[in-house]
Amino acid sequence: MSKVYHKELETEFENFEDWLHTFNLYRGKSGDDDDQSAFDEDRLIGRFKGSLCMVKVPFPDDITREPGFDPSMGMFQGIPPNDPVNVLVRVYVIRATDLHPADINGKADPYIAIKLGKSEVKDKENYISKQLNPIFGKSFDVEATFPMESLLTVSVYDWDLVGTDDLIGETKIDLENRFYSKHRATCGIASNYAIHGYNVWRDPMKPTQILAKLCKDGKLDGPHYGPGGRVKVANRVYLGPTEIEDEN
């Protein structure tokens, strides 16, 4: 069953670090600075992503029961290669709520800015005048290469006719963690499959392809399709209604 999350997915799925963890790399050594977080940010020179694991042998039951787990292959199984991966990222920005006023009239003139690696998009010409709850309804396409370019920044700026535009707020999303996570956090799954309209299927893989890949990764038999919406995976049979509409 599909579930809608009303807050950041990172808090729900522990930053999508189910196997790939992030370790910050700092220059020099820590001192007795009053603002330790700001001091560490100045010393940050990079991030290492990897995984370390110490586990008691024989493996605990909760590990061996994982789908597709082979005790003879050790803990790290199904790890993708670390070769550079070229991706096309599509960012949907729907709306913002309760923005902080940036003008003397108690309003703001917000617009969207997207940054990923060396790519930067500023939708300055489409700012929304005098609005603290703007509906943007925009999408942006940005190309990137993992692992070199993985941190997506979505910012909201206040447009000013004279002077520098002020930053109202921003959010940062680690796309590489989402890309490699077993939770498949790359694109939301719609309840229905539609080929056109406002709810068109947006995932690059079709539902049958997604299910086939999950079965392959988990070393499960299937999927096997039968009449009347019948699908068999391993030793379980799932039944669901099938609705076909005339596309004409």
| Higher-scoring residue by pLDDT: 96, 105 | 96
- Categorize the per-residue pLDDT at 175 as very low, low, confident or very high, splitting at 50, 70 and 90: very high
- Distance from C-alpha of 121 to C-alpha of 52, rounded to nearest angstrom: 37
- Distance from C-alpha of 72 to C-alpha of 2, rounded to nearest angstrom: 35
Tell me the average pLDDT across 31-41.
60
- Categorize the per-residue pLDDT at 75 as very low, low, confident or very high, splitting at 50, 70 and 90: low
SS3 192: coil
Question: pLDDT of 116-156, one tens digit each?
Answer: 988 999 999 999 999 999 999 999 999 999 888 999 999 99
- To which CATH superfamily is domain 85-180 assigned? C2 domain (2.60.40.150)
Question: pLDDT of 226-240, one tens digit each?
Answer: 888 889 998 899 887
Tell me the average pLDDT across 90-113.
90
- Categorize the per-residue pLDDT at 157 as very low, low, confident or very high, splitting at 50, 70 and 90: very high
Strand ranges for the chain from DSSP E: 21-26, 44-50, 85-95, 110-116, 119-122, 135-146, 151-158, 166-174, 224-226, 230-233, 236-239
SS3 71: helix
Tell me which of 16-25, 66-75, 84-93, 110-119 is least confident. Answer: 66-75
Q: Give the pTM.
A: 0.75
Can you give the residue ranges of every domain in the chain?
20-73, 85-180, 187-243
Neighbours of 3 (CB within 10 A): 7
User: Omega of the bond prior to 207 within 30 degrees of 0, cis?
Assistant: no
User: H-helix or E-strand containing 51?
Assistant: none
Q: Please count the CA atoms within 13 angstroms of the CA of 126 that sit on its side-chain side.
A: 12
Tell me which of 42-46, 168-172, 233-237 is least confident. Answer: 42-46
8 Å CB contact between 28 and 43 = yes
